[in-house]
Amino acid sequence: MSKSEFTIERHDLSLDKSLRAWSAADEYLLKAYQEQEGKTVKLGLYNDRFGFLSAHLHSDSPLAIISNKSQEKAIKLNCEFNKVQEPTFADPLSDSDEKFDLVLLKIPKSLDLFMLYLEHIVANSNDEVKVICAFMTRNFSPKLIQIAEEYFDIVEQGLALKKARLLTLTKKKIAKKKELISSLSFKDHDYKQYLGVFSADHIDYATQFFLNHVEVKPTDCRILDLASGNGVIANEIFKQNPESEFHLMDDSYLAVASAKMNISGEKIFHHFNNDLILFEDEYFDIIVTNPPFHFEYEINIQIPLALFKDCHRCLKIGGSLQIVSNKHLNYKTHLLSVFKVVEVVAEDKKFVVYKCVKYD
């Protein structure tokens, strides 16, 4: 496994120059593909985060299953920079017209998402499909094998190479389709969400803390729930302001699909995106957010910081950005470089709620 023949950038604003846009697991997948005998008719790529596999395998016209808008944008940028054809894109909930013969899958951190991917593969592949999965050995869990064996009769674990390992899955099982939607109860309301969406077992505690302290006025007519997840924040605010216009945005396709099950209406709009470019200046009265800072196994606060700057642009004069975050992130210092007024509305041992008001 040698240095990539393409220039693949991360496109995630990370300031950590030691991080590459691919791992040994990606390299192992590429090596395994190149060693396959014969040509495949249809190749599927899952969890190709920045486009390492998409660029290297462009000549085989792969179908890339996209879970995040940032992932799609990164793949397109890297393919464009390297002057190669970008893959065809699809989401992990839609059926493919063509059935996969071979799939390359980098196993995600979320085992629920791994299960959803395998469910999608089984439904969209030929009977003789081979699925080659890769992961870093430090991230191994016996649960990976257990999940794989629910979908395939033969699950073979390969030798470690550069601290990466392969699972090869063959002889898929024709099993009863599993339920891909779970239900979470909060304030006498059942919220539905797809496997792989953040906080699978309960409404996460930061969000619960935020909902106890968020400040929304009856005159707040346009509201954005940024990084909206399953839509719980927007829905709880909607109960107070049912006449307001609500926009929900998330980088995760599965999160957006989940939110659509939980909140809908004539003045409710869902957006699958990771930036605010589609909104005009001074459009919103209030923006609320429990922003992500974990991305797979990495922490990256540069992404939420960039969003905070764009929130300032999109807020009306006198409008507010209200945020809940883990205390150790110390967002206040960064927020004061964007907003003149940053108020700590509430805090406990773990979380803090900030209210940032736009005055210019």
Specify whether 233 is located in the same domain as 353: yes
Helix, coil or strand: residue 115: helix
Q: What's the length of the chain?
A: 360
Q: Is the pLDDT of residue 2 over 50?
A: no
Domain final residue pick, 103, 137, 172: 172
pTM across the whole model: 0.95
Per-residue pLDDT at 295: 79
Give the least confident one: 1-5, 39-43, 203-207.
Answer: 1-5
Q: Look at residues 172, 202, 228 and tell me which one is the last residue of a structural domain.
A: 172
The answer on 208 and 139 residing in a single domain is: no
User: Are 36 and 121 in the same domain?
Assistant: yes
Q: Residue 19 pLDDT > 90, yes or no?
A: no
**CB burial of residue 345 (10 Å; 0-12, 13-18, 19+):** middle
pLDDT value at residue 204: 92
Give the number of other CB atoms < 10 A from CB of residue 94: 11
Residue 318 falls inside a structural domain: yes
Name which of 58-72, 147-161, 268-282, 289-303 the model is least confident about. 289-303
pLDDT digits (tens, 9 = 90+) for 259-295: 999 999 999 999 999 999 999 999 999 999 999 887 7
The answer to whether position 12 is within a domain reads no
88 and 196, same domain (yes or no): no
Q: Could you tell me the residue range of the domain that residue 262 belongs to? A: 181-357
59 secondary structure, DSSP code: G
83-124 pLDDT tens trace: 999 999 999 999 988 899 999 999 999 999 999 999 999 999
If you average pLDDT over every residue of the chain, what do you get?
A: 94
Inside any domain, residue 66? yes
Residue 175 has pLDDT above 70, yes or no: no
Instruction: Return the percentage of the chain with pLDDT > 70, whole number.
Output: 98
238 and 168: one domain?
Answer: no
In a domain, 264, yes or no: yes
The CATH number covering residue 302 comes to 3.40.50.150
- Measured between alpha carbons, how far is residue 36 from residues 32, 133, 188 in Å? 7, 14, 53
Q: Does residue 19 form part of some domain?
A: no
- Condensed to tens digits (0 to 9), the pLDDT of residues 51-61 reads 999 999 999 99
Q: Looking at the predicted structure, is the pLDDT value of residue 1 above 50?
A: no
Q: Is the pLDDT of residue 235 over 50?
A: yes
Question: How many domains, in total, are found in the chain?
Answer: 2
Q: Would 16 be classed as within a structural domain?
A: no
299, pLDDT greater than 80: no
Domain boundary among 120, 140, 172: 172
Ramachandran angles phi, psi of 103, nearest 5°? -130, 135
Over residues 113-142, the mean pLDDT reads 96
- Percentage of the chain surpassing pLDDT 90? 85
Same domain, yes or no: 74 and 43:
yes
**163 and 190 share one domain:** no
User: Which pLDDT value is given to residue 39?
Assistant: 66
- The one-letter code for the residue type at 322 is Q
Examine the domain organization and report whether 205 and 342 are in the same domain.
Answer: yes
Is the model's pLDDT at 18 over the cut of 90?
A: no
* pLDDT tens per residue, range 308-318: 999 999 999 99
- In this structure, are 248 and 305 located in the same domain? yes
In a domain, 9, yes or no: no
Model confidence over 210-233: pLDDT tens digits? 999 999 999 999 999 999 999 999
What pLDDT, on a 0 to 100 scale, did the predictor assign at position 322?
A: 98
14 within domain boundaries:
no
- Mark whether 276 and 223 lie in a shared domain: yes
Check residues 32 and 2 and name the one with the higher pLDDT: 32
Based on the fold, state whether residues 201 and 350 are members of the same structural domain.
Answer: yes
